[in-house]
A and B are shown apart, each in its own frame.
Chain A
């Protein structure tokens, strides 16, 4: 109870902060009950709000899949590209207009199977963009096939007796490819994830945030792991926060411990900086920098 003698300040009703960032004419969204993608959108919306970026300068690029639909729901310049190709589209967008803040928002299958090559090359070049990967460990949109992130022994429709296909450790891949910022959280860790996205947006260079997220319809159900809430509680009980952990140690086993935290935060010159510095050295005054 409030102290009866204290002076009270009445505060007017506040809008849901995510709403100003959503295309409300496209709601309700297509995501299943208990799916975590919407939760990551909340984190992104708050991170963006806190970042104080001019929203007109923010572009969001998605590939194909459940997370690929994020672009369609955000009231930003948004590009829903082809399967796996969000990163090269974003590369063209960012290099052609360096004043844009470019965010790639896509799923694990899109970014790391069909799009894996683009991920490592954009990280290697240190193209200035933030990549947010919602990792639900499965292909959702196509009906529950294994992804390059599916833990060994977990079942998908294409590995019905359990997968024996070794998965990627995404933070390790991002780290070794050259990303300047690498963090992993789960949809249970909403405040951490929000902070990580905010930090990633503030970094100059290729930043990567992985968010482990429940897919109740196609991952949890087939693997008898309960619903979305059960997965959230699993994350709560089995996540171990290890900031600065060596990324090669953060691989995931089926229903094993999940190492979360901020793993990498460093500076490297961006592709554009390297280009301008080098060509200025070569050409001197003759160099005509790309104006954007």
Chain B
């Protein structure tokens, strides 16, 4: 399925990441956005609010982020593609509804333009400190998909991808931007509508009599319906059986939860989205994501110039974490250097997967700015390379 021509602002634009993400959502066929103002994400909903009257979308500024994050799910069950947008404090308020989307398998998109925290923290300055919250923020076990753009162009591209993945995997997809990417202005090329691949919702063809809300038909993914079509569904945030009815038993919990988790984890390789650079001969690999993946480039270049065999792995999909990939890589290299705009989050995943086969070194930064490339260079230099 291709994007609708009316929704796509084809051409070369000079816009920031927030505006690009808004255009990405519109191009992806998003027709319902609920949001609440919060720096540094507000420009995304402002873009949506300005554009929706011209493309037949429904935007509502809700009373808070809690309301926004559940209103979008109401819209999904009315048959629409929906999104909400926020930053740290609002992301914290949305956590319960990420869990609700996960357990009810409601396809929707959450964009978090990360800023320094905790609490009100640094409203106008960047951080990458919500990465573990994206993974574990709501209570209980569940899996989502989190993708991390590093440029305005990617804010456009990956927001479309987020909508597509949400439909395909029946999960909330989190686009983990940061203040730098959100407010950085660069050239963004929006292609022709017929060059944009859109995954449409998979509505069931079964009759109301045959249909069951969580029947996966031998796959891992149930088919969707929408309110008003006569299916008389029951959707609940309680543990539920195949019919969608509450069922409070360890057996039902095990079956439901296992599939919610496995539908993502067993597809990790398919979902894997990484960029490798100079890996083949590398002794040291810098693992980065988001804005930091751009900051590391001069450091790697400088180290290479000095003869150090340094490579780079950029994680675009951070959750599910590319565990088998890092495990294998750890057997070939001496060390991972992990710069993050936090005091250590994804580094724990890298270290766990390295499993002692490679040294893992964090380059922390409390946020408020990006790393100085020298700090990353120094960390590379400090690694002991085994002959």
Q: Give me the interface of A with B, judged by CB distance under 8 Å.
A: 23, 25-26, 56-57, 59, 61, 71-72, 75-82, 85, 87-97, 99-100, 117-118, 121, 271, 279, 282-283, 286-292
Are the C-beta atoms of B54 and A85 separated by less than 8 Å?
no
Partner of B245, one of A26, A61, A94, A121: A26
Partner of A59, one of B31, B73, B82, B228: B228
Closest to B234 in A: A78
Interface residue SS majority, chain B: mixed
13 further interface pairs, Cβ-Cβ under 8 Å (given A61-B74, A87-B67, A93-B75): A26-B245, A77-B227, A77-B228, A81-B237, A82-B100, A85-B70, A92-B32, A92-B70, A92-B73, A96-B75, A96-B82, A117-B63, A283-B53
**Known A82-B100, A91-B60, A121-B63: A77·B74 in contact at CB below 8 Å:** no
- 28 contacting pairs across A/B (C-beta < 8 A): A23-B245, A59-B228, A72-B236, A72-B245, A78-B234, A79-B236, A80-B238, A82-B70, A82-B100, A85-B70, A88-B71, A91-B71, A93-B77, A94-B74, A95-B32, A96-B32, A96-B75, A97-B79, A97-B226, A99-B228, A117-B67, A118-B63, A121-B67, A271-B60, A286-B54, A288-B53, A290-B52, A290-B58
Return A201 CB to nearest CB of chain B, in Å.
Answer: 16
Partner of A97, one of B55, B56, B227, B230: B227
Chain B residues with Cβ under 8 A from A77's Cβ?
Answer: 77, 227-228, 231-233
Are the C-beta atoms of A88 and B78 separated by less than 8 Å?
no
Chain B residues with Cβ under 8 A from A290's Cβ?
Answer: 31, 52, 56-58
Return B83 CB to nearest CB of chain A, in Å.
Answer: 11
Asked if B366 is an interface residue, CB under 8 A from chain A, the answer is no
* In the bound complex, CA of A11 to CA of B96 (Å): 53
Chain B 59-76 interface residues, beta-carbon cutoff 8 Å to A: 60, 62-64, 66-68, 70-76
Return A96 CB to nearest CB of chain B, in Å.
Answer: 4
Chain B residues with Cβ under 8 A from A71's Cβ?
Answer: 234, 236
Closest to B84 in A: A92
Chain B residues with Cβ under 8 A from A292's Cβ?
Answer: 78
Are the C-beta atoms of B67 and A118 separated by less than 8 Å?
yes
Partner of B34, one of A25, A76, A92, A283: A92
Chain B 4-41 interface residues, beta-carbon cutoff 8 Å to A: 6, 31-32, 34
**Known A80-B236, A96-B78: A88·B228 in contact at CB below 8 Å:** no
Chain B residues with Cβ under 8 A from A289's Cβ?
Answer: 56
Return B208 CB to nearest CB of chain A, in Å.
Answer: 9
Chain A residues with Cβ under 8 A from B73's Cβ?
Answer: 81, 89, 92
Closest to A114 in B: B66
Partner of B100, one of A81, A100, A282, A287: A81
Chain A residues with Cβ under 8 A from B34's Cβ?
Answer: 88, 92
Are the C-beta atoms of B64 and A56 separated by less than 8 Å?
no
Q: B210-239, CB under 8 A of A: which get 1 and which 0? A: 000000000000000011111111111110
Asked if B80 is an interface residue, CB under 8 A from chain A, the answer is yes
Chain B residues with Cβ under 8 A from A91's Cβ?
Answer: 60, 62, 67, 71, 74
Are the C-beta atoms of B31 and A96 separated by less than 8 Å?
yes
Closest to B60 in A: A95
Return A77 CB to nearest CB of chain B, in Å.
Answer: 4
Chain B residues with Cβ under 8 A from A82's Cβ?
Answer: 70, 96-97, 100, 237
* In the bound complex, CA of A72 to CA of B96 (Å): 20
Are the C-beta atoms of A117 and B64 separated by less than 8 Å?
yes
Partner of B78, one of A25, A93, A282: A93
Are the C-beta atoms of B74 and A89 separated by less than 8 Å?
yes
Partner of B237, one of A59, A75, A80, A95: A80
Return B383 CB to nearest CB of chain A, in Å.
Answer: 47
Are the C-beta atoms of A95 and B54 separated by less than 8 Å?
no
Interface centre among B34, B57, B66 (most CB of A within 10 A): B66
Are the C-beta atoms of B32 and A288 separated by less than 8 Å?
no
Closest to B64 in A: A117
Return B95 CB to nearest CB of chain A, in Å.
Answer: 11
* In the bound complex, CA of A279 to CA of B62 (Å): 19
Return B99 CB to nearest CB of chain A, in Å.
Answer: 8
Are the C-beta atoms of A92 and B71 separated by less than 8 Å?
yes
Closest to B52 in A: A290
Asked if B373 is an interface residue, CB under 8 A from chain A, the answer is no
Chain A residues with Cβ under 8 A from B52's Cβ?
Answer: 290
Chain B residues with Cβ under 8 A from A23's Cβ?
Answer: 234, 245
* In the bound complex, CA of A82 to CA of B70 (Å): 9
Chain B residues with Cβ under 8 A from A95's Cβ?
Answer: 32, 58, 60, 71, 75
